[in-house]
Chain A
Amino acid sequence: MLGIIRTIWLTFLHLFHRNETVQYPEVKPYLSPRYRGRIVLTRDPGGEERCVACNLCAAACPVDCISLQKGEKEGRWYPEFFQINFSRCIFCGFCEEACPTYAIQLTPDFEMSEYVRQNLVYEKEDLLISGPGKVPDYSFYNVSGLKIPGKDKGEAENEAKPIDIHALMP
């Protein structure tokens, strides 16, 4: 009986406590840069698409929400289309982990409600941003050994000249 009265009294005292509520649309919460929110596709410092359509993100995705089609242009691979179905996405970040080129990145934006479910399927033009995202200096084709127009084998950063295996010199 005393316990009940004490409970009532303590609950009454809560009238004079401060609100814990964050007035969300007016007061935005701070989200760290590594927050796993909306997914974007980034470009390398030269402005080219980073994505090389290797399909690793789609393979890593546990809910199969990513689908893409590879295309090829002057020795470079790129996605002909790239769709993420955000009504399925669980924002686990596995795609970001799997990506060898830092192309796919998760951002702190989480405000992506829609009235129509179909609008949650983002196409490449919705996903592709103009900047390099969280990794400003990385350009996959500049460090990879792949030969592309304007860059021969062995000309990439930190790459040794290819060894001529037919020569006799050590």
Chain B
Amino acid sequence: MTIPPLLIIVVTVFGVLGVAAISTILERRLLGFFQDRPGPNRVGPFGLFQVLADAIKMLFKQDWIPPFADKWVFLLAPIIGFLAVLLSFGVIPVTPSWSVAANWNIGLLFVFGMAGLAVYSVVLAGWSSNNKFALLGGMRAAAQMISYEVFMGLSVMGVVMMTGSFSMADIVAAQRHVWFIIPQFLGAVIFLLAGIAETHRLPFDLPEGENELGAGFHTEYSGMKFGMFFLAEYAGVALTSALIATLYLGGWSGPLLPPVMWFVLKVAFLICFFILLRAALPRPRYDQLMAFGWKVLLPLSLLNILVTGAVLLLRAGA
């Protein structure tokens, strides 16, 4: 059975948008429960229409471009960020037959390329706002992403070495016997941390810097342009969850249930875990975050590659 690619693309786009929208209400409800309060529960059954209310609010808010901003770059920045996240979803295999380009032999590299593009969105947003606080937020985001993307890439090399391929479909297929979270536990933890930093999630949401009572790189953004940053963050959470599920938790594979259910379950579990992290942990200081990245996580990820390589060589030699 072949599904027309156009259908897959359209459904994937709307699926990601839907997941991002539902994540907003899920996050608020779960944070409420973690803090012993019910969270938004007034609008509709279980507060589900809160998504709709938020969407209406965001669409009808005044969409303002400051006169001192660089207009075209200012407009372009959120679009770049959102597209980068959206495009990355193309290489994620949802099920064996349902994905845009899971068999692409540079799938994982493409994800990192898109993650690299997302930095532009943040930096351009900070720069084009022509505002000191936005610029500082953008710079912090850039510095954070530079330091975290290095070992984000290195941490998955273990998986790539064990699979022998960058293709996401091959990576899932290679986990038929054992999920990579067991042989690659260190890599999984490092990738999780880097993924949090990559999506500016708490506790690593330094770009937003509420310390200076500004919203960081999107200080000057309003209405739907802010909404795109907002949705891109939640889509990024979904993307990171999907990546972790694919790379380390066996993707769509699992007993009894159909593959799509397993994929959804794993992603949902990881999204909830991200929200739990947000509720539990305080934000580290900026230099602490960078020092942790460069001095601890980078050597650990290199060590991970070294050990994985040594073990693979020993096995091949034996």
Contacts and interface: CB of A to CB of B under 8 A. Distances in A.
B279 A19 contact: no
A91 B280 CA distance: 38
B277 interface: yes
Contacts of A4: 281
B276 A19 contact: no
Contacts of B36: 14, 17-21
B37 A20 contact: yes
B280 A7 contact: yes
Contacts of A14: 33-36
Contact count band on B: 10 to 19
Contacts of B34: 11-12, 14-15
B280 A15 contact: no
Contact count band on A: 10 to 19
A8 B38 contact: no
A8 B37 contact: no
A153 to B, nearest CB: 63
Interface in A1-44: 4, 7-8, 10-12, 14-15, 17-21
B291 to A, nearest CB: 15
A78 B124 CA distance: 69
Interface in A92-109: none
B277 A8 contact: yes
A12 B277 CA distance: 9
Nearest to B277: A8
A19 to B, nearest CB: 5
A21 B276 contact: no
Interface in B69-125: none
Contacts of A21: 36-38
A35 B33 CA distance: 31
A77 B277 CA distance: 67
B310 to A, nearest CB: 26
B37 A11 contact: no
Contacts of B277: 8
14 contacts: A7-B280, A7-B281, A8-B277, A10-B280, A12-B34, A12-B276, A14-B33, A14-B35, A15-B30, A15-B34, A18-B36, A19-B36, A19-B38, A20-B36
Interface of B: 30, 33-38, 276-277, 279-281
Given A14-B35, A17-B36, 13 more contacts: A4-B281, A7-B280, A7-B281, A11-B276, A11-B280, A12-B34, A12-B280, A14-B33, A14-B34, A15-B30, A15-B33, A19-B37, A21-B38
Nearest 10 interchain pairs by C-beta = A11-B280, A8-B280, A21-B37, A20-B36, A7-B280, A14-B34, A17-B36, A11-B279, A15-B33, A19-B38
